[in-house]
Amino acid sequence: MSAGSSRFDGRSFDGHGSAASLLAQARTELVEAASEPEPELRYARAHLAALRAAAAVLAQRSELGVRPRRRGLRSAWDLLIEMAPELGEWAGFFAAGAGKRAAAEAGIPGSVTAREADDLIREVATFCRLVERVTGGDRE
The domain spans of the chain are: 15-139
Task: Say what percent of the chain tops pLDDT 90.
Answer: 67
pLDDT confidence tier of residue 136, bands split at 50, 70 and 90: confident
The Cα 5–Cα 1 span in angstroms is 6
Mean pLDDT rounded to a whole number for the chain: 84
**Residue 115 Cα distances to 42, 82, 112, 125, angstroms:** 10, 31, 8, 15
Answer whether CATH 1.20.1070 is correct for domain 15-139.
no
Is residue 90 over pLDDT 70? yes
Find how far residue 123's CA is from the centre of its chain.
11
Is residue 93 over pLDDT 90? yes
Residue 2 φ/ψ region, left for φ over 0, alpha for ψ in the -120 to 50 degree band, beta for the rest: beta
Please, which residues have CB within 8 angstroms of residue 73's CB and are 6 or more apart in sequence?
7, 8, 9
Average pLDDT over residues 109-125: 96
Is residue 55 over pLDDT 90? yes
pTM of the model: 0.81
